[in-house]
């Protein structure tokens, strides 16, 4: 991919680089080998100031006060009714690791900045959207350590940790996946190095990896649709039940302790040739054809055809169909973690 294409991404273009020519081939490469992925669909917020930790701790579903300088955590931001407005990756960086950074879908950031800003009040904290200044690049594959070493970077020793290098900050998601955050001006040079040994891909490849790993997120069409447990956020370390209050905390806690979650996120495959379903696409059960039994969280082309997707579904359902009671059937697949 030509480097100038990165530099011409519009901040308003959303998922600017879904693929670099052939999505299915790129996803096949991500499933089998080393890839470097343009994550133009993600953006970055920074919370800066002496009250930044406490401010975020009081708003997000996870413990921010306990986040160590090398730590990385998932978290959600909910309405007062416990419905997710977004999920984030959150880490510390800047001088003395005093600044807090939140990575989320870029399309959501203007609204999130406004809503989060409503809670600043007298707190000594400033929010800034740095999406035009900080770029995100995904790396994945069995050779990830060598791939990073070639760029002068190191993979953190453990999952959900960060490591700061001269070229970028490395956010380790797993033994084979990491996100690099880099100054936008330094992106072309870093991309060129990584692309020498890894297959360049657009963001659909990364979204397919998220589907494979059971990592759901909120899109513009699914805001306020899910409590955290519907996206399995507590199963991937995104919810603390020991911390203090935050918007929607009472409902999230009640869902956890006083009743079984009636809808959960599952992984599925649609074998039929069908337009790639968008987040929010309804899902139906033949047992209740007159009302939706769930909705798509995210989807990507399958490496061998069809579509792989994450969907929130009624836990009591036995069979499901996409977009209508007579739509293509969903073939449920195992997640890499247990779901009650």
Angle between helices 23-32 and 203-213 (to 10 degrees): 50
pTM of the model: 0.94
Q: What is the pLDDT of residues 1-26, one digit of tens each?
A: 444 354 344 333 444 589 888 999 99
User: What average pLDDT does range 150-178 have in this prediction?
Assistant: 97
Q: Is 233 within 8 Å of 74 (Cβ atoms)?
A: yes
Mean pLDDT score, 266-281: 94
- Measured distance CA(230)–CA(228) in Å, rounded: 5
Residue 142 CB neighbours (<10 A): 12
| Band of pLDDT at residue 288, cut at 50, 70 and 90 | confident
Q: What is the pLDDT of residue 109?
A: 97
Residue 30 sits at the vertex; the CA angle it makes with 26 and 31, to the nearest 5 degrees, is 115
**Rounded Cα gap, residues 151 and 158, in angstroms:** 20
| pLDDT reported for residue 19 | 86
- Residues 298-340 have pLDDT tens digits of 999 999 999 999 999 998 878 999 999 999 999 999 999 999 7
Mean pLDDT for all residues in the chain: 93
Q: How far apart are CA 331 and CA 84, in angstroms?
A: 27
pLDDT at 283 over 80: yes
pLDDT digits (tens, 9 = 90+) for 213-272: 999 999 999 999 999 999 999 999 999 999 989 999 999 999 999 877 899 999 999 998
For 18-53, write each residue's pLDDT tens digit: 988 899 999 999 999 999 999 999 999 999 999 999
Write out pLDDT tens, residues 171-195.
999 999 999 999 999 999 999 999 9
Residue 256, CA atoms < 13 Å, CB-side half-sphere: 17
Residue 123 has pLDDT above 90, yes or no: yes
Res. 57: pLDDT tops 50: yes
pLDDT of residue 16: 58
Give me the domains of the chain, ranges plus CATH numbers: 15-259 (3.30.1360.120), 262-333 (2.40.30.110)
Residue 15 has a pLDDT of 45
Residue 54 CB neighbour total at 10 angstroms = 14
Average pLDDT value for residue range 87-101: 96
Which pLDDT does position 259 carry in this prediction?
75
DSSP conformation class of 266: E
Contacting residues for 250 by C-beta, under 8 A, at least 6 apart: 82
**Angstrom distance (rounded) from CA 246 to CA 242:** 12
């Amino acid at each position: 991919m030509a480097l100038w294409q990165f530099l011409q991404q519009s901040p308003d273009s959303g998922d600017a680089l879904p693929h670099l020519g052939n999505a299915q081939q790129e996803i096949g490469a991500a499933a089998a080998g080393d890839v470097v992925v343009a994550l133009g669909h993600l953006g970055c917020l920074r919370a800066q100031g002496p009250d930044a930790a406490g401010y975020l701790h009081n708003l997000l579903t996870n413990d921010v006060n306990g986040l160590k300088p090398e730590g990385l955590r998932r978290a959600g931001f909910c309405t007062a009714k416990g419905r997710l407005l977004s999920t984030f990756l959150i880490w510390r960086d800047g001088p003395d690791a005093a600044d807090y950074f939140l990575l989320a879908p870029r399309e959501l950031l203007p609204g999130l900045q406004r809503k989060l800003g409503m809670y600043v009040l007298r707190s000594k904290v400033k929010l800034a959207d740095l999406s035009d200044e900080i770029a995100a690049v995904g790396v994945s594959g069995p050779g990830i350590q060598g791939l990073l070493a070639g760029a002068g970077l190191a993979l953190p020793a453990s999952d959900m940790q960060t490591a700061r290098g001269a070229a970028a900050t490395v956010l380790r998601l797993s033994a084979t996946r990491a996100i690099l955050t880099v100054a936008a001006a330094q992106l072309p040079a870093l991309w060129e190095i990584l692309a020498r040994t890894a297959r360049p891909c657009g963001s659909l490849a990364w979204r397919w990896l998220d589907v494979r790993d059971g990592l759901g997120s909120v899109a513009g069409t699914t805001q306020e649709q899910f409590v955290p447990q519907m996206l399995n956020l507590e199963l991937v370390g995104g919810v603390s039940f020991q911390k203090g209050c935050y918007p929607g905390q009472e409902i999230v806690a009640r869902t956890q302790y006083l009743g079984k979650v009636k809808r959960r996120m599952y992984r599925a495959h649609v074998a039929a040739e069908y337009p790639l379903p968008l987040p929010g696409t309804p899902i139906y059960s033949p047992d209740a054809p007159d009302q939706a039994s769930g909705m798509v969280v995210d989807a990507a082309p399958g490496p061998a055809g069809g579509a792989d997707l994450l969907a929130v579904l009624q836990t009591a359902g036995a069979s499901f169909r996409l977009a209508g009671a007579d739509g293509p059937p969903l073939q449920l697949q195992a997640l890499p973690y247990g779901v009650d």
